[in-house]
Structures are given as structure tokens and as C-alpha cells.
């Protein structure tokens, strides 16, 4: 058998489990829904990236096809610079011009040119720079600029920056662009970070540079290996060697893909091979410059391996080692969205837990109240049965004595008095029960009239003393007269219940004391005893129906638990209130407050 405490603990655990089950279910379903939403968002984002990557590949292929047609129709003279300009006009932004001479040596991109003139001294170059900077005569300025570019490619100015790119980018012509790009490719590694950044900004705004030359220069400023080195490496591959040995098609064109490069070439009549090459650096530079077909929120990147940008990307492979990737411009956007979803789910889950716990507290309180009411009703039935049994047994016994004729005539008077006393006791118990019924239905109304509350109180005290002659005389401190607008019968009922309560629960607290005091029209009645007292936590509870103190004296004392509840309802019917002042071991004082005649 479970103890009462174990049974309550079991019920509490059961209630907690039942209350939290909806919250747990909401949390699990919400988590699954959130995971499904995140997966759907990632699938949607992946589909968009794959679509953009395919569009970018098609654009590259289309641009190469257009360049192929233009290359087949182009005319090339013997001059290298003319050939370079022709190829630069044909090449898409992501391709670099290529020219192989008759012995298949790489002529374009050209090797960094050596200065034809003997390098000038630093002092002479600084003089030329000063002339170029300060003179206002156009011819003098032009001559100083030309000499600086010819004889001062390795000289630094007073601030430590190379003079060559600074001077070359001033009034740069299209014919000077190849030499500038070649210088940048050969000297990029020697540039300081600030110098590199300044040169990059100037290259970006230089209008004389075509897209191909600008891409080569920006690529070199990133610190990557030279374009020439990359192309030579691709030309040494087995795929390139096989294609070159096989020769051109009927239209004189050579098209092949090597590791990290795509070649579109044409065999010229003089034995040279001219064309275009797409390699990683040229592709990366063009993507950085904005050559893409991406949607808002996307970014096109080049990487030699697919694993460079995480798992959310769209990838298109142009050739082995030459891949383009479309990635989200803001890679943390999905994570932030997922974090917001988790916060919303946490808020919903927290709210569900709070609601569940609130319902749990409400249901638990209702259950305890129902259990308490059931227990109190059982106690009430037991107490009332006991109170009714005693007077009923006495009345029956006395009636049987009278009926049998065994009572002497001189003793009949005492038997009749005892019979009347027990009948009154039985009537009082029944009246309390009827009052409880009226009280529960809200029908306990006071029939109020003008009366002397002091006289009403004195009558109640006399009736109590006559009923219980063994109780010591009650001490009185009554201000008379005490006119009030009250129901005398209900007032006597309240005082009788308070005195009877003191007799039952404070039998050693006599003599009892009753005080009636006036304060204007308000009147206060105090019933004091010197009994064991009432703890503070029980002082509000004892005015509830069926409530009794859970101590040894209360358990050993007959009672229904209705007396103080009736007292409170009597005072409410008069517009007043009832309360108790007590400390354990120092007795109890019950106070009835009547507010006045107009209340």
C-alpha cells in the first residue's frame, strides 16, 4: 500500500508527465518541421545555384564560339604588335591572346621586354620625373615621359614607388598597354602592398586598357604566377601535344582542352598559330571584373578544386582543373534564417511549456481542492452523525424511561429537563446544517432592525452559561448601550458559535472574555480565550466550511467544522467582517466588526 505522501507524489509525477507531453510533441514536430524547412531552403538554393552555373557555362561556350568565328575570319600581318591587338579585339574577357611562332615557341604572351636603352642613373630618372611633373610645356612633358619609360623601368622615386607604372598610366595609349602589362607581370612580386593596391586602382580606371590586358594586369597584381608560365605549362600537357601533332581541321582551326586550360587556335598561312586560351587566372580575373550571369545574392568564383567553397554551390566544369562555382554572396544568410527559425521554435516551445505548466498548476489545484472537499465532506458526515447520534440516543433513552414508567414522579422533572436540553442540542445541530445550506446557496440574509447590540451580546452570554453551567463565568467588558442595525438572531448565533468553539478547542482557556466597544457608529465585538492559540498559516483557513485544525486536540474534539464559517457569513450579511488574532500558546481573539447602522 502506498502512503499518502507517496500517492500524492505519484499523482504529481503523472500530472507533470501528462502536462509536458503536448509540449514535447510540439517540440518534436516543430523540430522536424524546421529541419524539413531548412532542407527545402537548401534544396531551393542549390537548384538556383546549379541553374546559374549552367547559364554561366553556356555563356562561356557561346563567347568562345563567337570568338572562334571571329578568329577564323581575322587577318594577321607579320608584325607581333598588330597580331596582339587583333587577338585582343577577338578574345572574350576571360581569354588571353596566344601566338606560337613557326618553331612553336610562345610569342604571345610575350616575355617581359628588356629595355632597349641603357638604364639611366637614379639621379637622371628623378630629374626626368621632376621635369615630367612640374613642366607645363606639352612637348617637354611628352619627351620626359617617353625617356622615363625607355630608360627608367627599374628606378624608384623619392617615396619608394616604381616610377614606370606611375608615368605609364598617365595618358596611356593602346599601343603602350602591352608593355605596361608585361612590366606589371614581371615586377608584381616586387611591389609593396600599398603600391600594389594603388596600381590596382589605377589599372581599374585606365580606359586605354582592353578587358584582356586589364584582366592580365589585375591577375598579376594578385601575386599569382605569370600568365605566360601558366600557358606554357598547359602547352606542355599530353592533350596539347596530341592536338598540335594532329594538326588543324579543314578550316585551319585547332580546338582542344588541356588540364586547366581551353585552347581555340588557328593555323596561319605563314606557319604561326594564333588564337585564344582560357586559363584559371584569366577566368578568375574576368569573374572578379563582373563577367557572370548570376542572380542577386549570388557570386561567381573560380577554383581549381570543387571543395574550395563548402557544400552549397553550383559548379560547372569547363575542363579538368578549370571549374567555375556559383556561391551565395552571403553564405551566412541560410544560417541566420535557420537561427531565426530555431528562436521562433524555442519561443513556441517555451510558451507551450509555460501553458502546460499553467494548466498543470490549475488542474493540480482543482484536483487537490476536489480531494480536500471530498475528505472534508467525509469528515463532516462523520462529525454530524456523531453529534446527531448523541442527542438522538439521549432523547430515545429518556423517552423509553418515561414510557416504561420506571421514573419516579419526583424525578420526572429532571428527566423532562434533560429531554428538553438534548432536543435543543439536536435542534441546534439541525439549524447549523440548514444555515450551511442557505449559506452555500447565498440565501443567508439578515433581517436587520434597530437593536442594542450590548443587550443582544449579554443575552447570548447568559444562554451559553445556562447551557454549560460547568464553564467558568464569562468576563464581560461591554459598552452599553450599543445601538446597531442588526439581526439579533444571527448575532446570537455567531456569538454562540464563537463561545462554543472556545469551549471545545480551548477547554483550559477559561474564563473567556467578551468585549463590546463602540467607535462612532461602528461596533467591535471581541471573544477572547487563553487556549493553545492558532498558527498564522491556519488563521485564514479555519473560516472555510468543514475546515478544522489538524492537531491532536481537534481530532479528539467533536465538531462539524461549520461554526466559524457560519460566523463569517453572518458578518458578511451585516456588511462587516470576522477575523482572528492569535499566536501559538497565547490564546486566540476572534473579532467581529459591525460597520454602522447604514451599512
Q: What is the pLDDT of residue 112?
A: 58
Judge if pTM exceeds 0.75.
no
| pLDDT above 50 (res 117) | no
| pLDDT above 50 (res 102) | yes
Q: What is the pLDDT of residue 100?
A: 92
Q: What is the pLDDT of residue 301?
A: 66
Dihedral-angle region of residue 267 (phi above 0 means left; psi in -120 to 50 means alpha; beta otherwise): beta
Q: What percent of the chain has pLDDT over 70?
A: 81
> What are 9-20's pLDDT values in tens digits?
777 777 677 666
> What are 17-37's pLDDT values in tens digits?
766 677 677 667 777 777 777
Q: What is the pLDDT of residue 455?
A: 92
> What are 373-408's pLDDT values in tens digits?
776 666 666 656 766 776 788 788 878 877 787 777
CATH code reported for the domain at 444-594: 3.30.565.10
Q: What is the distance between the alpha carbons of residues 300 and 291, in angstroms, rounded to a whole number?
A: 9
Q: What is the arithmetic mean of pLDDT over 192-199?
A: 82
528 CB burial (10 A radius; 0-12, 13-18, 19+)? buried
**Who's near 333: CB < 8 A, 6+ residues apart?**
297
> What are 347-382's pLDDT values in tens digits?
776 777 777 777 777 877 787 777 767 766 666 666
Pairing of strands 513-519, 475-478: parallel
Q: What is the pLDDT of residue 153?
A: 83
Confidence of residue 265 (pLDDT cuts 50, 70, 90): very high
Q: What is the distance between the alpha carbons of residues 599 and 587, in angstroms, rounded to a whole number?
A: 31
Q: What is the arithmetic mean of pLDDT over 233-253?
A: 89
Mean pLDDT, the chain, integer: 80
Q: What is the pLDDT of residue 297?
A: 65
| pLDDT above 90 (res 128) | no
Q: What is the distance between the alpha carbons of residues 412 and 421, in angstroms, rounded to a whole number?
A: 14
Q: What is the pLDDT of residue 115?
A: 47
Q: What is the distance between the alpha carbons of residues 223 and 221, in angstroms, rounded to a whole number?
A: 5
Q: What is the pLDDT of residue 369?
A: 75
Q: How many residues does the chain have?
A: 599
Amino acid at each position: 500500500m502506498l502512503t499518502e505522501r507517496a500517492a500524492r507524489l505519484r499523482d504529481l509525477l503523472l500530472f507533470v508527465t501528462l502536462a509536458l507531453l503536448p509540449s514535447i510533441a510540439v517540440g518534436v514536430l516543430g523540430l522536424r518541421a524546421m529541419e524539413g524547412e531548412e532542407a527545402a531552403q537548401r534544396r531551393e538554393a542549390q537548384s538556383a545555384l546549379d541553374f546559374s552555373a549552367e547559364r554561366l557555362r553556356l555563356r562561356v561556350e557561346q563567347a568562345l564560339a563567337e570568338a572562334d568565328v571571329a578568329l577564323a575570319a581575322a587577318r594577321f600581318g607579320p608584325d607581333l604588335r598588330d597580331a596582339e591587338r587583333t587577338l585582343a579585339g577577338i578574345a572574350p574577357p576571360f581569354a588571353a591572346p596566344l601566338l606560337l611562332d613557326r618553331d612553336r615557341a610562345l610569342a604571345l604572351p610575350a616575355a617581359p621586354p628588356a629595355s632597349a636603352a641603357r638604364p639611366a642613373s637614379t639621379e637622371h630618372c628623378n630629374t626626368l620625373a621632376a621635369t615630367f611633373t612640374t613642366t607645363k610645356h606639352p612637348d617637354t612633358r611628352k619627351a620626359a615621359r617617353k625617356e622615363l619609360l625607355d630608360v627608367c623601368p627599374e628606378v624608384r622615386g623619392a617615396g619608394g614607388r616604381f616610377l614606370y607604372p606611375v608615368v605609364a598610366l598617365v595618358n596611356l595609349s593602346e599601343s603602350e598597354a602591352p608593355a605596361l602589362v608585361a612590366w606589371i607581370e614581371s615586377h608584381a612580386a616586387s611591389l609593396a602592398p600599398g603600391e600594389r593596391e594603388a596600381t590596382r586602382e589605377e589599372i581599374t580606371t585606365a580606359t586605354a586598357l582592353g578587358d584582356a590586358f586589364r584582366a592580365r594586369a589585375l591577375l598579376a597584381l594578385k601575386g599569382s604566377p605569370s600568365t605566360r608560365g601558366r600557358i606554357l605549362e598547359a602547352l606542355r600537357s599530353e592533350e596539347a601535344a596530341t592536338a598540335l601533332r594532329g594538326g588543324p581541321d579543314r578550316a585551319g582551326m585547332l580546338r582542344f582542352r588541356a588540364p586547366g586550360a581551353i585552347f581555340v587556335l588557328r593555323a596561319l598561312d605563314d606557319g604561326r598559330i594564333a588564337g585564344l586560351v582560357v586559363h584559371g587566372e584569366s577566368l578568375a580575373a574576368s569573374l572578379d571584373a563582373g563577367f557572370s550571369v548570376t542572380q542577386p545574392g549570388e557570386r561567381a568564383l573560380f577554383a581549381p578544386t570543387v571543395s574550395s567553397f563548402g557544400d552549397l554551390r553550383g559548379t560547372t566544369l569547363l575542363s579538368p582543373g578549370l571549374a567555375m562555382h556559383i556561391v551565395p554572396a552571403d553564405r551566412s544568410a541560410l544560417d541566420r534564417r535557420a537561427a531565426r527559425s530555431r528562436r521562433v521554435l524555442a519561443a513556441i516551445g517555451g510558451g507551450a511549456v509555460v501553458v502546460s505548466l499553467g494548466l498543470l498548476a490549475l488542474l493540480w489545484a482543482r484536483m487537490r481542492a476536489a480531494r480536500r472537499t471530498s475528505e472534508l465532506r467525509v469528515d463532516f458526515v462523520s462529525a454530524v452523525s456523531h453529534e446527531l447520534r448523541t442527542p438522538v440516543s439521549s432523547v430515545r433513552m429518556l423517552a423509553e424511561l418515561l414510557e416504561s414508567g420506571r421514573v419516579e414522579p419526583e424525578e420526572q422533572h429532571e428527566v423532562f429537563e434533560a429531554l428538553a436540553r438534548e432536543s435543543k442540542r439536536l435542534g441546534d445541530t439541525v439549524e447549523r446544517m440548514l444555515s450551511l445550506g442557505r449559506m452555500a446557496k447565498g440565501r443567508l440574509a439578515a433581517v436587520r432592525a434597530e437593536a442594542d447590540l450590548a443587550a443582544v451580546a449579554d443575552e447570548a452570554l447568559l444562554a451559553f452559561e445556562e447551557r454549560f453551567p460547568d464553564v467558568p463565568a464569562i468576563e464581560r467588558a461591554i459598552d452599553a448601550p450599543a445601538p446597531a442595525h442588526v439581526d439579533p438572531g444571527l448575532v446570537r448565533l455567531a456569538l454562540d458559535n464563537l463561545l462554543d468553539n472556545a469551549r471545545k478547542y480551548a477547554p483550559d482557556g477559561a474564563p473567556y472574555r467578551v468585549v463590546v466597544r463602540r467607535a462612532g457608529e461602528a461596533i467591535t465585538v471581541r471573544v477572547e480565550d487563553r487556549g493553545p492559540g492558532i498558527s498564522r498559516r491556519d488563521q485564514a483557513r479555519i473560516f472555510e466550511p468543514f475546515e478544522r485544525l489538524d492537531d491532536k486536540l481537534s481530532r479528539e474534539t467533536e465538531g462539524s467544522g461549520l461554526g466559524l464559517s457560519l460566523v463569517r457569513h453572518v458578518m458578511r450579511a451585516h456588511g462587516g467582517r470576522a477575523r482572528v488574532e492569535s499566536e501559538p500558546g497565547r490564546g486566540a481573539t476572534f473579532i467581529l466588526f459591525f460597520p454602522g447602522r447604514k451599512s
